[in-house]
A = this chain, B = another copy of it.
């Protein structure tokens, strides 16, 4: 995919859509008590999921983590599904069985996150190994935070992917914290990217708040993976512009840090550069914002009236023969273009 005007505009749309959906969830619905359970958002990190997932093709897969809303949206999860998911409705992606970011749908090439951080890392390797076995030129994008890299499964997964030359791109959002724990208490290295060398795979560090940089690094990694060159580890430096979750007062982060990073806001940055280069007009930006507000308002209006699941559904779907509907394996057979 080219990094042309249209792509930049698409990315702006998805980044802004992400921001607005998450703001609505975190600052409205959560406070109104309409969200079931916890809320984690990716404010300030939107360029990472969007700059990478935008490049995927039909049968590619993603394994998103808990701050990658943009990747879901790009793969075709609708705002209405997202809101319904967060409010525990039957029309949510997981029909009320699962929480917030744990949305998955193999028809759209999305693996549902498991809370145990980094558990998807070897799973992504297995999906990629399957592409290789089937001689499909597809790739998997697997996302995680800096904190997740401390887990054993992260290591096992990267190592296996690398030995197998599996077509997967590992994308780390390094947002300087794992919950309240700063980087220096998690690892004795400054860049997560150096860990790539431990697996004989390229490790690159990019400015995660610059969507074009994320795009270019991912493009290179994807192209290498599709060519059979194996996995890449991409570290995107960014900052978590909120608490860990909606209930975290985040006292452990200095105000100055937020102020500093506010200036590097990835959306502002892309918008400014598009305006300065006259790629878009002020008018168009306003229209985009209005379009997003409208989409979200409409989606939310529907989702708020969506039904909760029926209590008896609790017992459904533990095993195949109990499933209300046909199982959704065979990911890519059913896949249809989502954008």
Contact = CB atoms under 8 A, between A and B. Distances in A.
Interface range on chain A (Cβ under 8 Å from partner): 20 to 34
A286 B116 CA distance: 59
Nearest to A186: B163
B152 A156 contact: yes
A200 interface: yes
A117 to B, nearest CB: 12
Contact of A197 (B150, B153, B197, B230): B197
Given A152-B153, A152-B155, A152-B156, A188 B197 contact: no
A195 interface: yes
A174 B116 CA distance: 32
Contact of A154 (B155, B165, B188, B195): B155
Interface in A144-162: 150-156, 159-160, 162
Contact of A198 (B162, B185, B197, B230): B197
A137 to B, nearest CB: 21
Nearest to A203: B198
A110 to B, nearest CB: 25
Nearest to A192: B198
18 contacts: A150-B156, A150-B159, A150-B160, A151-B152, A152-B152, A152-B153, A152-B154, A152-B155, A162-B187, A162-B188, A163-B184, A163-B186, A163-B187, A187-B200, A188-B200, A189-B197, A189-B198, A195-B198
Interface of A: 150-156, 159-160, 162-163, 165, 184-189, 194-195, 197-201, 230
